[in-house]
Amino acid sequence: MWEAFEHAAHYELDNLTAIIDVNRLGQRGETMVGWNTGVHVERARAFGWSAIEIDGHEPEEIDRAYKEAAEVSGRPTVIVARTIKGKGVKAVEDKDGWHGKALDDPDAAIDELGGIRNISVDVAKPDAAEPHRFETGELELPRYELGEEVATRKAYGEALAALGSARGDVVFEMYIAEQQLLAACVGLQARGWNAFGSSFAAFFSRAYDFIRMAAISRVNLRLTGSHAGVSIGEDGPSQMALEDIAAFRAVHSSTVLHPCDANQTARLVATMAETDGIVFLRTLRPNTPVIYDADEDFPIGGSRVVRSSDDDDVTIVGAGVTVHEALKAAESLEDEGISARVVDAYSIKPIDAQTLQAAAEATGRIGTVEDHWPEGGLGDAVLDALADSDDRPRVLKLAVREMPHSGKPDELLSAYGIDAEHIAAAARQLVGAEVAAS
């Protein structure tokens, strides 16, 4: 909680009151500080909060504390309440071993507490006022020229700024604290805002429990993770997101998007703002060439067949940086008489099963290529889309299979087997295997 305390004090949230219920007992034995409420007070003050100690069983003290808290200016307030776990029921009061357990005799316990079985208390409702709206204008997404070299992370930032101007969204600085970034996004959306959270994709692993709980709470979040995969180059594996697609696919209500060019990114950012659930957009550090016109549309659940013919021998499915490698591979394969279809699966969840099934039927062989670990990413999504179809093609998955070193992006795409050359080799292998098997 201390990162939350730090941020709340930094932003001088004097309309925030926290309560610490200090009941001494954990699930198993005493907590680290037991009933030492002074420890909480001292820590809270060191983090810039006002703190009030009370007996949590005394209504007058509770009332007084709330009144005091409301009067504090420029700082949040924490009420540190000393309480007794199970108070009023002798069988369990202040006793170890009763956490999350049903009572042996619930009727006796209710009698001991005074016998009242239904209490209805009216409390003041939270302020349901509409949040402040900034002035807005027409949405003018950034537009990039075909062939231009632009990093999708840059296109994301420019598209988000455009979206903010058009929709009255707001950007908060959360410093290096991804859990607080998520918490703030959840809070903002609960108050009617359209929250976009941005960090390195790898660092969302820091907030994976917050993302998980946001999904359980049916929150709508738009999260963008940059610096995906080995294509970031020199910064090394700690900064390379290689598990993010797997982690976000396995979040209920999630959408996972991975654009390959700047115009596609800009359009998807606009679409994210309208999409419910946990929407994750994966962007790239290096520049990639613009291959789509600024007016093209990219619906959630769609894909784009960027290269095809009537007699394709094999299909290559990529997303993000690997779309460009797949296109290069298709060109070199053409010289050898192998015709490769290339699918840009920018929507990894939901994935465009129909286009993949059509490609499976037409070509009978599929290679997937992703700048990600082999588990839980694009390749698994493609296999899932074809698992139950009548045409079940041979699928070769190219992915990063060793812990990467630092290096230049092109060197790393090659070293870890996901560049044009490796894609072409996989395509040759697929064509050869089917010939051998037939």
| Active site (catalytic) residues | 178
**CB of 42: closest distance to a copy of itself in angstroms?**
5
Look-up of token digits 């051998």: 436
Which amino acid is residue 87, in one-letter code?
Answer: K
Closer of 67 and 101 to a copy of itself (Cβ): 101
Applying CB under 8 A, which of residues 394, 415, 421, 428 lies at the interface with a copy of itself? 394
CB atoms within 10 A of CB 101: 8
CA distance 433 to 420: 20
**CB of 156: closest distance to a copy of itself in angstroms?**
16
CA-angle at 358, arms to 354 and 364, nearest 5°: 135
**CB of 199: closest distance to a copy of itself in angstroms?**
11
209 binds a copy of itself (CB under 8 A): yes
Record the tokens describing residue 401, joined without a space.
């299979």
Which amino acid is residue 79, in one-letter code?
Answer: I
38, 98 Cβ separation under 8 angstroms:
no
CA distance 362 to 372: 27
Binding-site string for a copy of itself from residue 173 to residue 192, where x marks contact by CB under 8 A and - marks none: x-xx----------------
Look-up of token digits 């703030």: 184
- 260 closest CA partner among 200, 327, 319: 319
6 binds a copy of itself (CB under 8 A): yes
Binding-site string for a copy of itself from residue 289 to residue 328, where x marks contact by CB under 8 A and - marks none: ----------------------------------------
CA distance 163 to 165: 5
CB atoms within 10 A of CB 411: 14
Taking CA atoms, 358 is separated from 162, 345, 396, in Å, by: 37, 14, 17
208 binds a copy of itself (CB under 8 A): yes
Region binding a copy of itself by CB under 8 A among candidate stretches 61-69, 172-180, 265-273, 329-337: 172-180
Look-up of token digits 């219920």: 21
**CB of 381: closest distance to a copy of itself in angstroms?**
8
CA distance 408 to 248: 27
**CB of 235: closest distance to a copy of itself in angstroms?**
8
Applying CB under 8 A, which of residues 119, 124, 129, 387 lies at the interface with a copy of itself? 387
Taking CA atoms, 14 is separated from 9, 10, 69, 70, 311, in Å, by: 8, 11, 8, 8, 67
3-state secondary structure (DSSP) of residue 286: coil
Residues 6+ apart with CB under 8 A from 56: 21, 22, 62, 81, 82, 83
Binding-site string for a copy of itself from residue 321 to residue 360, where x marks contact by CB under 8 A and - marks none: ----------------------------x-----------
Region binding a copy of itself by CB under 8 A among candidate stretches 86-94, 128-136, 238-246, 312-320: 238-246
**CB of 424: closest distance to a copy of itself in angstroms?**
17
Give the pairing type, strands 304-307 and 149-151.
unpaired
Backbone angles phi, psi at 14, to 5 degrees: -80, 0
Record the tokens describing residue 62, joined without a space.
């509770």
Closer of 35 and 66 to a copy of itself (Cβ): 35
406 binds a copy of itself (CB under 8 A): no
Look-up of token digits 């990063």: 400
**CB of 176: closest distance to a copy of itself in angstroms?**
7
Region binding a copy of itself by CB under 8 A among candidate stretches 119-127, 145-153, 235-243, 305-313: 235-243
Applying CB under 8 A, which of residues 62, 166, 170, 213 lies at the interface with a copy of itself? 213
**CB of 46: closest distance to a copy of itself in angstroms?**
4
49 binds a copy of itself (CB under 8 A): no
262 binds a copy of itself (CB under 8 A): no
Residues 6+ apart with CB under 8 A from 335: none
370 binds a copy of itself (CB under 8 A): no
Closer of 26 and 137 to a copy of itself (Cβ): 26
# chain residues binding a copy of itself, by CB under 8 A: 65
CA distance 7 to 3: 6
Applying CB under 8 A, which of residues 397, 398, 412, 423 lies at the interface with a copy of itself? 397
Q: How far is CA 382 from the centre of its chain?
A: 21
Binding site for a copy of itself (CB under 8 A): 2-3, 6, 10, 26-28, 31-32, 39, 42-43, 45-47, 100, 173, 175-176, 202-203, 205-206, 208-209, 212-213, 215-216, 218, 235, 237-238, 242-243, 246-247, 249-253, 349, 373-377, 379-381, 383-384, 387-388, 390, 392-397, 403, 433, 437
